[in-house]
Chain A
């Protein structure tokens, strides 16, 4: 009510001089903001352009050329590289390998990290300790973890950790990484990734859990819902929908990008190489067939895109927060 009582002239005379100054300051402030925006974002945008977009575009170019041992090829071959890759049984079987891997790793990571989150969330004492302890492996590199898995835990000789434990029960040594029937190599491959990534997804779930309003649980209690499965099934799980979808999508993409543990644990072998290891082998190893490699990489990118879009369609990613 007080504002209209001010006389316009008085306001003007007082503020004309002063209004300019804050305005200029504001302009400067905005320009400054823009400056700082670019100072902070610029390096990343530049990095993205140089190290991601440029290679992607160049890869697209290479995929239409015969490019052995050169990144500046001259022999245009049209779609031949794509046709070769789509009929290459090794490439197709690498997609199969990935599928098996995803079938193991995605549900396992989902369930275990959720269970871990529920447990850690209920702990009353030393919460920070438990959270950190399970999150710590995320800080370890895949290469280092793979080396530990290969050299000390799952080596095939009698002094490997796993074999020592089996030895206590009188069971023979198992060559974990070299046995194809039964395919024991999946055990180290899956466990190393679980160990490395469970903590990260657990933190996502804990964040999700803490966003659930306690009033919902109180209401459920008043309505006579039994604590435990019933509450989890009808309150916790539906409330975690957004987090769950994010975890699933991130997990699947991470599985598509599997490289380090496969490369370091079993190398480039044809019975268990995911697409990236195969593409690395043909384009960056001694073969240096950059044309076929680029075509394969782009096919893979399209597949990842389609799967992610389908998944978010089905689970309603983005709408999930409603």
Chain B
């Protein structure tokens, strides 16, 4: 063998001997990304406590994270680790639910795909005794084929709050129809203050309320598209009219769910959830009034989207029973924690009728008005409305609102996607 050719056999064997390090590296890499948020100590068996991981999105109000951790610590039957998620919670949750490395219990929004993909377990057994204490809408939004999959944690009505003083100064009454809203926004606009803030995307968040205020709905009772008639098209067209009126605040540093824009006096009205009431009261005192999303015309009703968050147990959790027990403890048994969560940070309506009835903070002022509007005009999500349908609906709104595209043509495009999705899900 010529001297300049390395002795391949020898060096390879040598290499194998000496590079066990690489194998160690492989093991290390494989171990990476295994942080599920569960506490590292202890196992599942014997008399030892089970480890549970509980995922939250990031709530904007101060004190919420500490509160969540406090509840988890107070639970004695398992070690519960809270994972607080800033940023794109939906994306992180979706990938977390692909494997058993994700959460054991988590908050989210229910839809049929979660059941079809076997991501959540039914909670009928722990809900049986308290079912009647929940609002029918909040049960329906988490129910599929007669089984309840989630426990509503908080109800978040989304409405329009306005500065009373600015409306009084301009001599206008709180808007009652969409046309009123558009003209009020125009009149309230000055060179320093815009009429209304409906999000930096120009108002997609009002697509649902606009649809319901025209008498439509996302899906009909028998799961057909319910957003396709001419009145819905008219309502979406109105959203474009509002956007094009140059009285809408755009490009704010914060988005619609944050009260900074109205608090800083950038706008006279803002579409936002009731969670922001404490923050607005702190900045503006009593200078806040509330209206529902106004009706399209005399034939219709105003609409309030009754959103919120729901607690689920992951079907992929290695400790489903322990997770269910914890969820029952926190969201059914511990009413003082539920009260704390709903009222002491942002304002949310407690989903339990018994708690809502004695929520003194929600019994006066603008919060009480919001609760009343939700009772009269609230609607909840249909679980058959999947994220894919939501995206098609959102694209339709963007094209109509921002680009001024023909609503009927855009509706037809969204309808096609929704129908394809419906036939995939229901055959």
Measured CB to CB, the closest approach of chain B to A34, in angstroms, equals 5
Residue of A42, A90, A157, A267 with most partner-chain B CB within 10 A:
A157
Q: Is B91 a contact of A285 with CB atoms below 8 Å?
A: yes
Among the listed B97, B119, B266, B387, which residue makes an inter-chain contact with A157, where contact means beta carbons less than 8 Å apart? B266
Q: Is A31 a contact of B22 with CB atoms below 8 Å?
A: no
Q: Which residues of chain A are within 8 angstroms of B114 by Cβ–Cβ distance? A: 69
A157, B254: Cα distance in complex, Å: 11
Q: Is A157 a contact of B3 with CB atoms below 8 Å?
A: no
Q: Which residues of chain B are within 8 angstroms of A31 by Cβ–Cβ distance? A: 6-7, 10-11, 14-15
Q: Is A178 a contact of B202 with CB atoms below 8 Å?
A: yes
Render B1-14 as a binary contact track against A, CB cut-off 8 A, 1 for contact. Answer: 00100110011001
Interfacial residues of chain B within 11-55, with CB under 8 A of chain A in the complex: 11, 14-15, 18-19, 21-22, 25-26, 29
Closest residue of chain A to B386 (Cβ to Cβ) is: A287
A43, B14: Cα distance in complex, Å: 18
Among the listed B11, B95, B386, which residue makes an inter-chain contact with A35, where contact means beta carbons less than 8 Å apart? B11
* Interface residue stretch chosen among B68-76, B220-228, B244-252, B305-313: B244-252
Q: Does A56 contact B (CB under 8 A)?
A: no
Q: Does B391 contact A (CB under 8 A)?
A: yes
Q: Does B88 contact A (CB under 8 A)?
A: yes
Q: Is B29 a contact of A47 with CB atoms below 8 Å?
A: yes
Closest residue of chain B to A158 (Cβ to Cβ) is: B192
Q: Is B249 a contact of A46 with CB atoms below 8 Å?
A: no
Q: Does B402 contact A (CB under 8 A)?
A: yes
Interfacial residues of chain A within 38-54, with CB under 8 A of chain B in the complex: 38-39, 42-43, 46-47, 50
Closest residue of chain A to B1 (Cβ to Cβ) is: A27
Interfacial residues of chain A within 145-198, with CB under 8 A of chain B in the complex: 150-151, 154-158, 160, 172, 174-181
Known: A42-B19, A90-B395, A157-B266. A151 touches B94 (CB 8 A): no
Known: A31-B6, A285-B88. A39 touches B19 (CB 8 A): yes
Q: Is B251 a contact of A50 with CB atoms below 8 Å?
A: no
Known: A68-B113, A157-B252, A269-B201. A287 touches B29 (CB 8 A): no
Q: Which residues of chain B are within 8 angstroms of A76 by Cβ–Cβ distance? A: none
A269, B402: Cα distance in complex, Å: 11
Among the listed A35, A47, A281, which residue makes an inter-chain contact with B15, where contact means beta carbons less than 8 Å apart? A35
Render B87-103 as a binary contact track against A, CB cut-off 8 A, 1 for contact. Answer: 01011011101100000
Measured CB to CB, the closest approach of chain A to B221, in angstroms, equals 25
Known: A31-B6, A157-B266, A287-B387. A69 touches B250 (CB 8 A): no
Among the listed A69, A160, A282, A286, which residue makes an inter-chain contact with B117, where contact means beta carbons less than 8 Å apart? A69
Known: A34-B15, A43-B25, A270-B398. A156 touches B249 (CB 8 A): yes
Q: Is A69 a contact of B388 with CB atoms below 8 Å?
A: no
Among the listed B25, B98, B251, B266, which residue makes an inter-chain contact with A69, where contact means beta carbons less than 8 Å apart? B98
Measured CB to CB, the closest approach of chain B to A231, in angstroms, equals 46
Q: Which residues of chain B are within 8 angstroms of A157 by Cβ–Cβ distance? A: 249, 251-253, 266
Q: Is A69 a contact of B119 with CB atoms below 8 Å?
A: yes
Measured CB to CB, the closest approach of chain A to B417, in angstroms, equals 9
Render B394-413 as a binary contact track against A, CB cut-off 8 A, 1 for contact. Answer: 01001100110000000001
Q: Is A46 a contact of B388 with CB atoms below 8 Å?
A: no
Q: Does A127 contact B (CB under 8 A)?
A: no
| Count, chain B residues at interface, CB 8 A | 48
Q: Does A70 contact B (CB under 8 A)?
A: yes
Render B109-128 as a binary contact track against A, CB cut-off 8 A, 1 for contact. Answer: 00001101101000000000
A286, B92: Cα distance in complex, Å: 9
Q: Does A261 contact B (CB under 8 A)?
A: no
Q: Does B234 contact A (CB under 8 A)?
A: no
Q: Which residues of chain A are within 8 angstroms of B387 by Cβ–Cβ distance? A: 285-288
Closest residue of chain B to A290 (Cβ to Cβ) is: B98
Q: Which residues of chain B are within 8 angstroms of A23 by Cβ–Cβ distance? A: 3
Known: A38-B19, A39-B21, A46-B22. A69 touches B113 (CB 8 A): yes
Q: Is B94 a contact of A35 with CB atoms below 8 Å?
A: no
A199, B93: Cα distance in complex, Å: 38
Q: Does A320 contact B (CB under 8 A)?
A: no
Q: Does B263 contact A (CB under 8 A)?
A: no
Q: Does A95 contact B (CB under 8 A)?
A: no
A71, B399: Cα distance in complex, Å: 32
Q: Is A30 a contact of B11 with CB atoms below 8 Å?
A: yes
Q: Is A286 a contact of B15 with CB atoms below 8 Å?
A: no
Q: Which residues of chain B are within 8 angstroms of A286 by Cβ–Cβ distance? A: 90-91, 93-94, 387
Measured CB to CB, the closest approach of chain A to B229, in angstroms, equals 23
Q: Is B6 a contact of A179 with CB atoms below 8 Å?
A: no
Counting from the closest, the 8 A-B pairs by CB-CB distance are: A156-B251, A175-B250, A69-B117, A178-B250, A175-B251, A31-B11, A30-B6, A286-B90
What is A's interface to B at a CB cutoff of 8 Å? 23, 26-27, 30-31, 33-35, 38-39, 42-43, 46-47, 50, 68-71, 89-90, 150-151, 154-158, 160, 172, 174-181, 267, 269-271, 281-282, 284-289
Listed A/B pairs (7) with beta-carbon separation below 8 Å:
A30-B11, A33-B6, A35-B19, A39-B21, A154-B251, A178-B202, A288-B113
Q: Beyond the given A69-B98, A180-B402, A284-B91, could you list 9 further A-B residue pairs with CB under 8 A, ordered by the A residue number?
A: A30-B6, A34-B15, A43-B22, A69-B97, A90-B395, A155-B252, A172-B191, A178-B250, A285-B387
